[in-house]
Amino acid sequence: MPRRAPQIARTLPALRRSMEGLRARKATVALVPTMGALHDGHISLVRLAQRRCDKVVVSIFVNPTQFAPTEDFGAYPRTWKSDIAKLTEAGADLVWNPDAKVMYPDGFATRIVTEGPATADLEDRFRPHFFGGVATVVGKLFTQVRPDMAFFGEKDFQQLKVVTRMARDIDLGVKVVGATTLRERDGLAMSSRNVYLSADERATAPVLYRAMKETAKRLKAGDDVAAALAGGAATITAAGLALDYFEARNSETLAKVKSMKDGPLRLLVAAKLGKTRLIDNIAV
Ligand code: PAF
């Protein structure tokens, strides 16, 4: 039987009406925040959310406040029809799709300021505007939808830490759940930005995952952290990528580490391949 398309809400009153319907009989509600351009990684979040909650809301909003003027806000892929087809197939219940005026009404003047994991000297070093924009929009999404749980991919590992901290710090009453990164067969982490890669770049991109795996193996075999990271970094730059960072951090606190004793460790990488900036991470 063909699936029913999810309801779509574009204004706050419409969202409230839809949420009242979804919450009938005390149903639990999950939120999967996205910027659209949905891929299998997003759909795996929807499926995980369906296992944990009765109803699943997916937000689609390309959030201008998390892009610097030099970044790809204008070019960010917008694939509404295919997003809705995927969400219909997955059985999502509601799509929250506000426009920028609904999210940021005229005179908007309030932002969430992030510290702690947002100042870990990883993404924030290269995208200083980013976590303020993410925290503000996710804080608003949480108060608009009021979900019981919210699901985020581990690919944006620092983002996951930031929103987890924010939800706790300002008592949003939402349990933030992180989900394993989905990968292509050659190891490249799924990302909406992968569509920017040329065929040659796409063939090169899995080097990030390979370098992290090699480094993790060396660390587990007892290699020195700095030496293992230097080896991984050399693999990445030899493939022609411009490295922003390749680091080992404590996976709970994101604190810098000197040895495996400072773990559990997480390897985190960000690099530019042509014009496309890729990020990824794995547990050691
Ligand atoms: O990870 C994303 O797609 C975005 O940063 C998010 C969490 C939807 C906020 O705009």
Residues forming beta bridges with residue 250, ordered by sequence position: 265
Q: pLDDT below 70 — which residues of the chain?
A: 1
CATH tag, 192-283: 3.30.1300.10
**Tally of helices (H runs) and strands (E runs) in the chain:** 10, 9
Catalytic residue from among 9, 34, 42, 176: 42
Name every residue whose Cβ is closer than 8 Å to that of residue 57 and which is 6 or more positions away in sequence. Answer: 19, 22, 29, 30, 31, 32, 92, 93, 94, 95, 96, 145, 147
User: Does residue 138's CB lie within 6 angstroms of at least one atom of ligand 1?
Assistant: yes
The single residue listed with the structure tokens 């299998």 is 40
* Catalytic site includes residue 39: no
CA-nearest of 175, 111, 130, 158 to 252 is: 158
Give pLDDT, residue 280: 98
Give pLDDT, residue 127: 98
Give pLDDT, residue 25: 87
In words, the CATH class of domain 7-179 is alpha beta
Cα–Cα distance, 161 to 156 (Å, whole number): 9
- DSSP one-letter string for 156-221: SHHHHHHHHHHHHHTT---EEEEEPPPB-TTSPBP-GGGGG--HHHHHHTTHHHHHHHHHHHHHHT
Give pLDDT, residue 2: 74
Give pLDDT, residue 3: 86
pLDDT in tens, 43-88: 999 999 999 999 999 999 999 999 999 999 999 999 999 999 999 9
Atom of ligand 1 nearest to the CA of 61: 10
CA 22 to centroid of ligand 1, rounded, Å: 23
Q: Where are the domains of the chain?
A: 7-179, 192-283
Report the first-to-last Cα separation within the chain, whole angstroms. Answer: 44
Atom of ligand 1 nearest to the CA of 153: 1
